[in-house]
Amino acid sequence: MTKRNRTLAQILIVLAAIAVLIIGRDLYLRRQEVLDCGDGPRRRIDLRDFSTQYSAYSLELEVILDDKAKISTKLTPEQFQQLSESLQSSREFRLYAVAGYNSCAISKDQYGKFGARYQALDSLAREINALLMKPSPTQEEKNALSTLTSRYGELASKLGTQ
């Protein structure tokens, strides 16, 4: 490597490091941004924070559904379809709630209610997940899975309603 190429490479590395620092600082400051929407100050929410706080089991359940072989004997095709559609609805709801909160379209009170509903959905996902992970569920557990799946679908369809 010639001296000129080495110098050019060092300059490019320094410029890349500066760009990473500027972008990182900008993202950090944006996350710390305080909004005033008329109902008191609020911090901008990052969708990743919402997903981490409210949807660990919902996301795990989503992964399990993607690996269809694991649950093919535990859910009927109708239950599987309902659960898949419900998970899609909950993903869309997460985007709606966070975007609405960040743009002042949703009040703090509404966001709190939506968060509580999402936690209830996450609790159901936790129960469904536990039943789906059982290697050979009993008939009672299969019935419970059917009931939980129906409740999950009902709650997911009502997430964004008042």
Average pLDDT on 95-119 reads: 85
List, in sequence order, every residue forming a beta bridge with 41; answer none if it has no partner. Answer: 36
Chain Cα centroid distance, residue 46: 11
**Residue at token pair 């795990």:** 60
Q: pLDDT band at residue 32, thresholds of 50, 70 and 90?
A: low
Q: pLDDT band at residue 52, thresholds of 50, 70 and 90?
A: low
More confident residue, 110 or 81: 110
Q: pLDDT band at residue 160, thresholds of 50, 70 and 90?
A: low
More confident residue, 149 or 162: 149
Alpha helices by DSSP H, listed for 103-134, are: 108-132
- pLDDT at 62 (0 to 100): 59
Tell me the average pLDDT of the chain.
76
pLDDT at 76 over 80: no
Chain Cα centroid distance, residue 145: 22
